[in-house]
Amino acid sequence: MKLRIDKAIYGGNGLARMTEGEQAGKAVFVPFVLPGEVVEAHVRASKKGFAEAALLSVPEPSQDRIEARCKHFTFCGGCQYQHATYDAQLAMKRGILEETMQRAGVRDLPTIQVHAAEPWGYRNRIRLRVEANRIGYNRRASHAFLPVEECPIAAPLLWQAVQALTELPLEGVAEVEFFTDAHESKLQLTVLAEKHLSQKRLTRLCEMLQQRIPQLAGASVVQADPRQRGHRGQPDESVEGHVAAHWGEASLPYLASGQTYRVQAGGFFQVNRFLIDTMVRIVTANHSGERAWDLYAGAGLFTAALMKNFAQVTAVEIGEASFRELAALTTPPHRAMRATTAEFLKRGKLEAPDLIVVDPPRAGLGTEVVERLIAISVPRIVSVSCDPATFSRDAAGLLQSGYTLAELHLVDMFPQTFHLETVAVFTR
């Protein structure tokens, strides 16, 4: 059928409406399209409220349509927007954020401030699957293995390391993760093994890889759960797990916003090497006082900046690897606590801080945490989110309790993909 694309929706698809027959008006989701385009598509799945279609051709393309840079685009599940100019990508994400907020009942939005940087080679971390000494990601919309020959969103050093690794014996390796600092001066390797990978084998593998990639500074083996294999398979966040063997440096030093962080295997750290300093500035600038809480603190990216402007910072993190980094970063009177945010907020008689920073996972804060934040009645909350739907839900709860949305930022941490990061400042 021929369709006109109305708008971009979260998840990477475009939305169109059927125009003929009994299903006229039914929503159709089409991938790899742009608003305003007329396309030919084939419906491959029809459900009660919508249909999913495969793109066949674009007889009337948008002026924002360009050739994708990566040969694996449309086959790989990692990117959704390589067919769009970067300005068009930002416009689509801004529209999606606005509409998602409005659908959650959030009106009178402040001006959305958009922050962007170089849209290629930005990732400081990638994680790939290994099969028969081939390295790849997941195929789009599946867990099937896709061998890949390039990844232009990865920092160049990461892909050089991938190419070098394919020349080495990888028996027993299920997945590999490479992590580099912002300037690509050091490289960290994490190996997820299906079975025991001995210290001797790890040492031999790393020595051979270091001959090809001198920046390799350290490596760790994490025992993989076979049930989890391939459930990521994209250049995604890091993984927690039991470290079975080490080689070289146990952590990678990462300089960001004037602070050196020690990022261990399995520890979380923001992935866009060009926008980390911007993110820290947006979250922490113009905030000061006696006490601050950094919840879902990770390795302490925001904690370090907050410690410069607050007399006491309490940083809360549950992940084992991230907490080790966080504990090393904080010194009295500042403190790190290993707990979930919900567990921390349940503790009785907490003295309310002047500021709370929250950076939850994709699932968002949830009703329980939002209610406890409301009960504390802190004057300022800065929320960092990587999912507009869960962020909008949480924001609606805060606004209904009397908070005001003072600032809203869209930080494009994931160019070429549908993912978008928001930073919001709520005040009472």
Q: What percent of the chain has pLDDT over 70?
A: 95
What are the tokens at 209? 């890889």
pLDDT digits (tens, 9 = 90+) for 35-45: 999 999 999 99
What are the tokens at 138? 């997941």
pLDDT at 240: 53
Residue with the bigger pLDDT between 350 and 276: it is 276
Assign 282 a pLDDT band (cuts: 50, 70, 90). Answer: very high
pLDDT above 70 for 324 = yes
Assign 198 a pLDDT band (cuts: 50, 70, 90). Answer: confident
Instruction: Please tell me the total number of residues recorded for the chain in this structure.
Output: 428
Q: Work out whether the CA dihedral 73, 74, 76, 81 comes out positive or negative.
A: positive
Assign 228 a pLDDT band (cuts: 50, 70, 90). Answer: very low
pLDDT above 90 for 237 = no
228 DSSP assignment: G
pLDDT digits (tens, 9 = 90+) for 360-406: 999 999 999 999 999 999 999 999 999 999 999 999 999 999 999 99
φ/ψ of 146, rounded to 5, equals: -125, 105
Residue-averaged pLDDT of the chain:
93
pLDDT above 80 for 67 = yes
Whole-number Å distance between alpha carbons of 397 and 299: 28
Assign 129 a pLDDT band (cuts: 50, 70, 90). Answer: very high
Q: Sketch out the chain's domains with CATH numbers.
A: 2-65 (2.40.50.140), 103-117+272-427 (3.40.50.150), 125-252 (2.40.50.1070)
3-state secondary structure of 365: coil
CB neighbour list of residue 271: distance below 8 Å, 6 or more residues apart:
122, 123, 124, 125, 235, 237, 413, 414
If you write DSSP's letter for every residue of 141-174 in order, what string do you get? TS--EEE-S--TTB-HHHHHHHHHHTTS--TTEE
pLDDT above 80 for 242 = no
pLDDT at 108: 86
pLDDT above 90 for 255 = yes
pLDDT digits (tens, 9 = 90+) for 214-225: 999 999 998 654
pTM: 0.92
pLDDT at 22: 77
Residue with the bigger pLDDT between 22 and 148: it is 148
Assign 426 a pLDDT band (cuts: 50, 70, 90). Answer: very high
pLDDT at 232: 41
Whole-number Å distance between alpha carbons of 52 and 47: 8
Assign 334 a pLDDT band (cuts: 50, 70, 90). Answer: very high
pLDDT at 315: 97
Apex 183 CA angle, 216 and 181, nearest 5: 55
Burial per residue of 228-242, b for 16 or more beta-carbon CB atoms within 10 angstroms, e otherwise? ebbebbbbbbbbebe
pLDDT digits (tens, 9 = 90+) for 106-119: 988 999 999 999 99
pLDDT digits (tens, 9 = 90+) for 137-170: 999 999 999 999 999 999 999 999 999 999 999 9
Mean pLDDT of 68-96: 98
pLDDT above 60 for 134 = yes
pLDDT digits (tens, 9 = 90+) for 39-62: 999 999 999 889 999 999 999 999
pLDDT above 90 for 340 = yes
What are the tokens at 248? 């070289």
Whole-number Å distance between alpha carbons of 112 and 138: 33
